[in-house]
Amino acid sequence: MMNRGFQMTAAAAIPRIAFQGERGAFSEEAAVRLLSENIEAVPRPSFEALFSAVADGAADYALAPIENTLAGSVYRSYDLLLESHLHIVGEVIHPIALHLIGTPDATLDRLETVESHPVALAQCEHLFRAHPQLLRVASLDTAGSVRAVIAANDPSRAAIAAKRASEIYGGRILLEHIEDHRENYTRFLLLASQPLLPESSSRANKLSLVIELPHQPGALHRALGIFARREINLLKIESRPIPGRPWQYCFYLDLQAALHNSDTAAALEELRLWAAEVRLLGSYPAHEISTSNFK
Amino acid sequence: MMNRGFQMTAAAAIPRIAFQGERGAFSEEAAVRLLSENIEAVPRPSFEALFSAVADGAADYALAPIENTLAGSVYRSYDLLLESHLHIVGEVIHPIALHLIGTPDATLDRLETVESHPVALAQCEHLFRAHPQLLRVASLDTAGSVRAVIAANDPSRAAIAAKRASEIYGGRILLEHIEDHRENYTRFLLLASQPLLPESSSRANKLSLVIELPHQPGALHRALGIFARREINLLKIESRPIPGRPWQYCFYLDLQAALHNSDTAAALEELRLWAAEVRLLGSYPAHEISTSNFK
């Protein structure tokens, strides 16, 4: 269990966490990593449904993928975060370990087809090169393909998905860790209707904001200088086209900074006086990466 | 025709252009936009096969997607570009217009299933909301689904793909522009084994490079200052995890700069003296966006 120190609603015994995908998705694995098994999973079919789940009253939190080490930033999440009124209250970094999952009596020898989302299939090129007899079948969802294979009870079919999908649907893991690249991590943001309370945010050492700058040479350099001068470390910068103005960009910044620190406050004030737009997305505890996290 | 001013090999009458996907892919549409119909299409099944096509002698150029306004940067292309010895010699920005394509005698009324790559299916939510009877079917490739539908000659099936796929396989466009978001453009890079020749690069007003900085606060600010001080405009910045060092980043910069300009040369020299790594990816003519490009 890895409780990141944010405040749960006192009344709610079991927090309801919305995620995109079916039961057993990588997002659900990440929610368990962040919050323990003691959660209620609220699967949502689309990103739009995920980001509206909290406002709809269907969930207390939404867990949204924001960045993957192989696929890059999840721009749809950035855009929907901007459109929503949600606040970042936590983050978790989760390894995307892909497994080959069949029916309980399946064996690798008898396997004929392997189904999954095309992105997952494409990340297992080594498997298909080693077993050229296996036919790839595209599906809409990784965990959903495990559900379909188990429901059909067909030992010639297998799916590529998270370990959790195998546990939930009662499958058998035929091969573990079939992903081509082991450095496949996704960073998820935990989103809530209210920002972290100051009294519970003493561990909030990370700050995310989005800024829009005057369209002039050197603008980004000037903006970063506001933080560099105060020795506030920039953890990540992401440029994103501004809707309606193709090839003009806004910038998402992740800073190693506590919101209530006086240097941080002064930097934000200086930025606000000059930038076209500054919006705080959240102040939250950074997921500290250590080998022990990746069991 | 939109020849971007780079030099074709004098001997080769018809340049061979490799792209990822099947005949009729958006990449093939983009190649035609950049180079005219007078090309030989070299479809490749994977990104790896695309990036090796030039070295293999199978193609004169490779056209790789690098950035999409909805999906974000194509990190796989960035990584394979770094691993390869290819040079950027041109770019093209292509609108991703999605069409519903059926057999020649298909009608919308008789349609039952719609197949395509899940990413394309997800970009047509409005269609499926307006026609709830239509069943989504995942496939590995947009153009490949058109090929499959036409080969089956089944009027109850349709596919979502580029207009060019309909032309190549002899389909019928049942609905045009079914993409939810019209601002869906992909930027492609044209890659070759040799950089642009100085005598043919007078129009090369854009410079792409990748840099790795010392791991210290303010490093990016200092790097950008080298260009800002010389009023060299930063067009795009992209951070990318450094393989083997999770959550440390290198930076891809697109600059509005001619390589042989003395300010550019001085900036690159200053950067090289301090940065851990500086690699030029290419100097090439920027695709100038005007409405007339998007016919």
Percent residues over pLDDT 70 in chain B: 91
Residue of B nearest to A243 (CA): B183
Q: Band of the pLDDT at A243, cuts 50, 70, 90?
A: low
pLDDT digits (tens, 9 = 90+) for B242-273: 766 666 778 999 999 998 899 999 999 999 99
Mutate to test the interface with A, among B83, B180, B234, B294 (most CBs of A within 10 A): B234
pLDDT digits (tens, 9 = 90+) for A6-21: 445 545 579 999 999 9
- Provide the pLDDT for residue B25: 96
The domain at A16-95+184-194 falls in which architecture? 3-Layer(aba) Sandwich (3.40)
**What are the contacts of A20-23 at 24+ separation with CB within 8 A?**
A20/A44, A20/A45, A20/A46, A20/A47, A20/A49, A20/A50, A20/A64, A20/A65, A21/A141, A21/A142, A21/A143, A21/A144, A22/A141, A22/A143, A22/A144, A22/A147, A23/A143, A23/A147, A23/A165, A23/A168
Sequence-ordered list of residues with C-beta below 8 angstroms from that of B244, at least 6 positions apart, any chain: A183
CB-nearest partner of B118 from A140, A185, A233: A140
The domain at A99-175 falls in which architecture? 3-Layer(aba) Sandwich (3.40)
Per-residue pLDDT at A155 exceeds 70: yes
* Any A CB within 8 A of B274 CB: no
Domain with CATH 3.40.190.10 in chain A: 16-95+184-194, 99-175
- Provide the pLDDT for residue A218: 86
* Any B CB within 8 A of A242 CB: no
Q: DSSP letters of chain A?
A: ----SPPPPSS-SS-EEEEESSTT-HHHHHHHHHH-S-SEEEEESSHHHHHHTTTTTS-SEEEEEEEETTTEE-HHHHHHHHHS--EEEEEEEEE---EEEE-TT--TTT--EEEE-HHHHHTTHHHHHH-TTPEEEE-S-HHHHHHHHHHHT-TTEEEEE-HHHHHHHT-EEEES---S-S--EEEEEEEESSPPPGGG-TT--EEEEEEE--SSTTHHHHHHHHHHTTTPEEEEEEEEEETTEEEEEEEEEEEE--TTSHHHHHHHHHHHHHSSEEEEEEEE------GGG--
pTM over 0.90: no
* Domain B16-96+184-194: which CATH number of 1.10.10.10, 3.40.50.1100, 3.40.190.10, 3.40.50.300: 3.40.190.10
pLDDT digits (tens, 9 = 90+) for B115-128: 999 989 988 989 99
CB-nearest partner of A249 from B71, B122, B236: B236
A139 and B139: CB-CB below 8 Å?
no
The CATH superfamily label for domain B200-284 reads ACT domain (3.30.70.260)
Give the mean pLDDT of chain A: 89
B72 and A74: CB-CB below 8 Å?
yes
- Provide the pLDDT for residue B199: 65
Name the strand (E) or helix (H) holding B65.
Answer: strand B61-68
Strand B61-68 and strand B185-192: pairing?
A: antiparallel
- Provide the pLDDT for residue B1: 36
Domain with CATH 3.30.70.260 in chain B: 200-284
Q: Is B291 a catalytic residue?
A: no
pLDDT digits (tens, 9 = 90+) for A69-119: 777 778 889 889 988 999 999 999 999 999 999 999 999 999 999 999 998
Q: Is B188 a catalytic residue?
A: yes
Mean pLDDT score, A199-207: 81
Domain with CATH 3.40.190.10 in chain B: 16-96+184-194, 99-175
Q: Band of the pLDDT at A122, cuts 50, 70, 90?
A: confident
Residues of A whose CB is below 8 A from B121:
140
Q: Band of the pLDDT at A247, cuts 50, 70, 90?
A: low
Mean pLDDT score, A54-64: 97
Instruction: Calculate how close chain B gets to A294, using CA atoms only, in Å.
Output: 13
Instruction: Calculate how close chain B gets to A233, using CA atoms only, in Å.
Output: 5
A125 and B247: CB-CB below 8 Å?
no
